[in-house]
Amino acid sequence: MLMLALSGMRTRWITFVGSFVALALGVGLIAATGLALAATFDAPERGPERFAAAPVVVRAADHLRVDTPTGTRTKPLDHPGPVGPRTAYRLAALGRTVEDRTFPADVTAARTGADTKAARIGADAKQPRTGPGTTAARTGADAKQPRTGPDVTAARSGADAKQPRTGTGTTAARTGADAGKSRPGQDAEARVGHPWPVAAAAPYRLTSGRAPAAPGEVVVTTRPGGAPLRTGDRVLVRTPAGNGPRTVVGTVAGRGFEDAVFFTDDEAARISPDIDALVVHADATAVRRALGPDSGMDVLTGHDRRRADPDPDRDARALVSVNALLGTAAGITLFVSAAVVASTFSFAVAQRRREFGLLRTAGATPGQIRRTVCAEAVLVGVLASAAGVWLGAGGAPLLVGRMTGAGLAPPWFALGDASWPLHTAFWTGVFVATAGALVSCHRAGRTAPTEALREAAVDSRVMPASRWAAAVLVLLAGLGLPALALAVDPGDLLGRKSYITRPMLLVVGFALLAPVLVRPVGRLLTWLPARLPGATGVLVRENTAAGVRRTAAVAAPVLITVALAATLTGTVATLEEARAAESRTATTADFVVTSGQEGRPMAPAFVERARAVEGAVVSVSRSTAVTVLEEDTALVTSEARAVDPARLAAVSELPVTAGRLSDLDDGAIVVNEEWLTTRVGDRVTVWLGDGRKASLRIAAVLATGTGDNGVYVTRRNAGGAGVDRIDVKVAEGADRRAVAAALQSAGAATGTRVTTRAEWLAATGPGTNDQTRTGLRMILGIALLCTATALANTLVMATSDRVRDLAVLRLAGATAPQVLRLVAAEAVVAVGVGAVLGGVVAAVNLLVVWGALVLLGVMSAVVVPWGTLGLVVAAAALLAAVSAVLPASLALRTRPVELAGARE
């Protein structure tokens, strides 16, 4: 059988070239994505950075720990607390201590002349006091707060005065790519401030100048590509205590993890009174003994000191999306490759039925025929898999380079030394080739000698009972599982895993039914051309109906690509539109102000000035989190916003399904329908962002929506979060332009960008996530590459097998251009059949998504990616026409009489 398989492969090499290329490309892509995927399993092992030279670091615990019947569960805290003054005093008795404080300190190069004076700390005081921003309009506690200078922070208390801590869950001190970016609309360089004494813990070393000794002096870090700051420069520094000019008295070389500004110890304490971490020059055992077991403090030594670094989990978090993208790409590649190889082998066996009939006539048994086909598949699989592994090993570095260049992976992402993806890819290729040929082997072995010799050119009995049964079962699963999810948990259908894997069942089902669907769909597409003058339309219709297997083999890869392209891009666009619709409905404010950088609090001075604007209803909110223990087994953290209930209703219309938002108070919480407990009035035990445990009453329940309807609490339960969003509604009868001018003036003075509702919706609306779209394009490119290979191979095989038919047409009087037009038209119609079937699959999936959104209370239209579909279908049609015309044109160079008499 092996020699017979080798002989057959040499004789019918065209049949196997396409399968070889398609499988080699599939294995190569699996190997490349597998190598890159293996590199995402372990983030780079980074040692301590900010406190690399500190013997012991004491900070508040950054993880919530809850004992359950099944063990201790942990979750990162959103806002770890500060180190208390009593703790600092007690530890100071053990040895020298250094207090660390971290706060935003954005730097702008100071100008000269009148501009410099305008930038001085007194600039806030020079703002007009009349009109919308007048102090006379301020009442209550707000009116008593100082408007300018360092006393702003000193007079503040509670959550507003606290800055986010460094370490897990903290992004205020985060640097890297974000740290060098200015806030929207501003020219300030985002930095973080620290007291100078803590610089030695990194350690930072002066490269020029001296240490700061007075309140107006700072030391700054320098880095390539950053602001060219030098000793002696005058800069404007924006801190939570206000804006003020400073003199750069020294510089230190940046260490890559942050861009810092160092102040004197006293000034840093004035700007940010809370102690974020404490460096203790003492024995760690003595420190732990002094703190006691229930102090709520972490004592960090050795490698654990990195937990006090700015965002220590940033590397692992950056790899999560990379892992998901590569896993999805590998899964889709495997699916498309398996489908393409199975379709190609099936068509190849159908082409060789006369050959198998002759072998049966010569005495070959069905088992020998099956073993021959299997041997051919194994040989192709081994050779193609080996070539694919070689391609994947060489292409993996290119893939990683493109991903880092496109921003899909962090700049430091690189391949590791894992070899298991290559072994996995090789054996996967062999398995796919063998499995794809099994059904074809079975059909080949059932070929009867007389049947094969009597069989006409018209395909018949293309759907055996076994294929019918498989198609029905797969379609029932593809339709039944979404229907069950719609009835039980509609939100599950909106997850990435669901809308990526769900189409595959329907694709397989329609591909199995393709031989039955080809004739009616083909007749539908050729209905009009068949009625036009000339015989081309009629011939296309009849040839499509007669060559069912050929048409189905061409339509199958197009079906896969169109279904995936429409489902993936359409679902993502539909979900983005749904989220935008939710935002448009939920936000009724006229102006929306955000902090500009994720995790950074808003300037307190702007918050105060916004509250004082005459004619404005101001709703201040904070991002926080609450954690609940579900079923005594799992800690589940939900994003939350801390709001003022009295102002919330004025600037929003949340989708309340039970209860009233006005009932929210310090002892209550607003949850959504995803929570296990959703009955109004029931109490739930939660842990707040700073780890405090609280029992809160459910005041209202929100619809689940797309998942962005989170939890609402009051400021008291914000866990130390700072203000990061302000919604402003112009009061009835107030002057909108005056309110806008006052807000813009306050924003200009504090470096805060004020946006209208329309601008904010546009910035957060559909199409803003370029990384998601780039990832989808990469996945679709992989599918399109496999499809193009299979399409070209199938048409070359089909056209090469029809040389006698083409010769008969020439002998009947058709010219060569007419024959070529006929061949091209048949190929385009076959692509159209695949596009129609793929469109049906996509329509079903998009309707499922739309139904899930409706059940979740979101009324939004389905977004169909017509542009993407048009490009995919046009590219497939062009490739199909070229792949069919080229071999046909080569065959037509031979005299028709010779072709008509040629033996197969």
Instruction: Report if residue 38 sits inside a domain.
Output: yes
DSSP-assigned beta bridge partners for residue 219: 250, 262
The pLDDT confidence band at residue 6, using thresholds 50, 70 and 90, is low
Is the pLDDT confidence value at 148 over 60?
A: no
| Interval 362-393: pLDDT, tens | 777 777 777 887 888 888 889 989 999 999 99
Tokens 């690509």 -> residue: 561
Region 866-878: what's the mean pLDDT?
Answer: 91
- Among the residue ranges 298-312, 528-542, 650-664, the one predicted with the least confidence is 528-542
Of 383, 389, 397, give the one whose Cα is nearest residue 425. Answer: 389
Whether residue 127 is predicted with pLDDT greater than 80 in this model: the reply is no
Residue 66 has pLDDT above 60, yes or no: yes
pLDDT for residue 194 is more than 90 = yes
Per the CB < 8 A criterion, the answer to whether 775 and 613 are in contact is: no
Q: Are residues 253 and 371 in the same domain?
A: no
Residue 100's beta-bridge partner residues? Answer: 277
896 — pLDDT class (breaks 50, 70, 90): low
Q: Do residues 739 and 808 share a domain?
A: no
More confident residue, 8 or 832: 832
Q: Is residue 461 very low, low, confident or very high in pLDDT (cuts 50, 70, 90)?
A: low
Given 718, 743, 764, which residue is the final one in a domain?
764
Cα 621 from Cα 852, distance rounded (Å): 30
By mean pLDDT, which of 189-203, 340-354, 733-747 is the weakest?
340-354
Percent of the chain with pLDDT strictly greater than 70: 83
Considering the domain architecture, whether residues 759 and 775 belong to the same structural domain is answered as: no
- 111 and 229, same structural domain? yes
Is pLDDT at 453 greater than 70 in this prediction?
A: no
Sign of CA dihedral 362, 366, 367, 371: positive
Q: What is the DSSP string of 396-418?
A: HHHHHHHHHHTTSS-TT------
Residue 28 pLDDT more than 80?
yes
Residue of 832, 804, 790 whose CA lies nearest to 903: 804
User: In terms of domains, do 444 and 488 share one?
Assistant: no
Rounded average pLDDT over 798-819? 79
* pLDDT band at residue 664 under the 50/70/90 scheme: very high
- The band of 715, judged by pLDDT with boundaries at 50, 70 and 90, is very high
**Is residue 434 located within the same domain as residue 332?**
yes
The pair of three-digit structure tokens given for residue 28, joined into one six-digit string:
């190569």
The residues facing 71 across adjacent strands are: 68
Q: Check residue 99 and give its pLDDT.
A: 94
pLDDT at 119: 36
Q: Does the structure show a pLDDT above 80 at 771?
A: no
Tell me whether residue 142 is in a domain: no
- Convert the pLDDT of each residue in 599-634 to its tens digit: 678 888 889 999 999 999 999 999 999 999 988 888
In a domain, residue 131? The reply is no
Q: Distance between CA 507 and CA 837 in Å, rounded? A: 9
The radius of gyration of the chain's CA atoms, rounded to the nearest angstrom, is 34
Q: pLDDT band at residue 537, thresholds of 50, 70 and 90?
A: confident
Residue 562 counted as domain residue: yes
Average pLDDT over residues 150-162: 35
Q: What token pair was written down for 280? A: 């203790």
| pLDDT: which is higher, 197 or 774 | 197
- What sign does the dihedral 893-896-897-901 (CA atoms) show? positive
Instruction: Give the pLDDT mean for 355-359.
Output: 72
Q: What is the pLDDT of residues 588-604, one digit of tens each?
A: 999 999 876 666 788 88
What is the extent of the structural domain holding 386?
Answer: 1-47+310-455
Q: Which of 399, 422, 455 is the last residue of a domain?
A: 455
Higher-confidence position of 190 and 225: 190
Exposed/middle/buried for 479, CB within 10 Å: 0-12, 13-18, 19+?
Answer: middle
pLDDT at position 47: 85
Give me the amino acid identity at 368.
Q
Mean predicted confidence (pLDDT) in 892-901: 64
Pairing of strands 634-643, 616-630: antiparallel
Q: How far apart are the first and last CA of the chain?
A: 22
Q: What is the pLDDT of residues 781-794, one digit of tens each?
A: 877 887 787 788 77
Q: Is the pLDDT of residue 232 over 80?
A: yes
Residue 427 CB neighbours (<10 A): 13
Q: Say if residue 848's pLDDT is above 70.
A: yes
Same domain (yes/no): 607, 754: yes
Residues 37 and 91 in one domain: no
Token pair in block for residue 68:
């359950």
* Residue 108, in any domain of the structure: yes
Measured CA to CA, the distance from residue 867 to residue 314 in angstroms comes to: 36
Segment 315-327 shows an average pLDDT of 83
Pick from 225-239, 328-342, 355-369: least confident: 355-369
Are 111 and 244 contained in the same domain? yes
Residue 285 and residue 327 in one domain: no
pLDDT in the model for residue 115: 41
195 falls in which pLDDT band (50, 70, 90)?
A: very high
Cis peptide before 421 (omega within 30 of 0): no
CB 33 within 8 A of CB 330: yes
For residue 652 the two structure tokens come to: 């929003």
Dig out the tokens for 210 from the structure: 């001296």
Residue type, 667: G
* Residues paired with residue 221 on neighbouring β-strands, in sequence order: 252
Least confident of 140-154, 221-235, 245-259, 460-474: 140-154
**What is residue 121's predicted lDDT score, i.e. its pLDDT?**
34
Report, as an integer, the average pLDDT of 231-255.
91
Position 746 in a domain: yes
Average pLDDT score over residue span 456-480: 76
Calculate what percentage of the chain has a pLDDT beyond 90.
32
User: What is the reported pLDDT for 684?
Assistant: 95
With respect to residue 676, please indicate whether it lies within any of the assigned structural domains.
yes
Total residue count of the chain as it appears in this document: 904
Residues 774 and 894 in one domain: yes
Ramachandran bin of 327, using left for φ above 0, alpha for ψ from -120 to 50, beta for the remaining angles: alpha
pLDDT digits (tens, 9 = 90+) for 395-447: 999 989 888 887 788 888 888 888 899 999 999 888 888 877 776 666 666 66
CB distance 800 to 350 below 8 Å: no
Q: Which residues pair with 755 in a beta bridge?
A: 592
Same domain, 119 and 153: yes
Residue 143 maps to a domain = no
According to the model, what pLDDT value does residue 456 have? 47
Per-residue model confidence (pLDDT) at position 600: 78
pLDDT band at 702 (very low <50, low <70, confident <90, very high): very high
Residue 903 has pLDDT above 70, yes or no: no
What single-letter DSSP state applies at residue 555? H
pLDDT greater at residue 694 or residue 497: 694
pLDDT of residue 123: 34
Q: Where are the beta strands (DSSP E) in 644-793?
A: 656-659, 668-672, 683-687, 693-702, 711-714, 723-730, 754-756
Amino acid 728: pLDDT: 94
Average pLDDT, the chain: 81
The whole-model pTM stands at 0.76
Query: CA-CA distance, 529 to 535, in Å (whole number)?
Result: 9
**What's the pLDDT tens digit per position in 885-894?**
888 888 777 6
The domain total for the chain is 5
Q: What is the structure's pLDDT at 134?
A: 35
Question: Among 42-46, 130-134, 684-688, 886-890, which stretch is predicted with the lowest mean pLDDT?
Answer: 130-134
Q: Are 582 and 706 in contact (CB under 8 A)?
A: yes
Rounded to 10 deg, the angle between the 314-351 and 770-800 helix axes is 10
pLDDT at residue 223 above 50? yes
Of 348-352, 859-863, 890-894, which gets the smallest average pLDDT? 348-352
Query: Of 420, 455, 490, at which residue does a domain stop?
Result: 455
Give the pLDDT score at 669: 96
Reading the block at residue 669, the tokens are: 């919480």
Nearest to 694 by CA among 631, 634, 756, 628: 628
Structure tokens at 806: 């083409």
Contact, 565 vs 865, CB < 8 A? Answer: yes
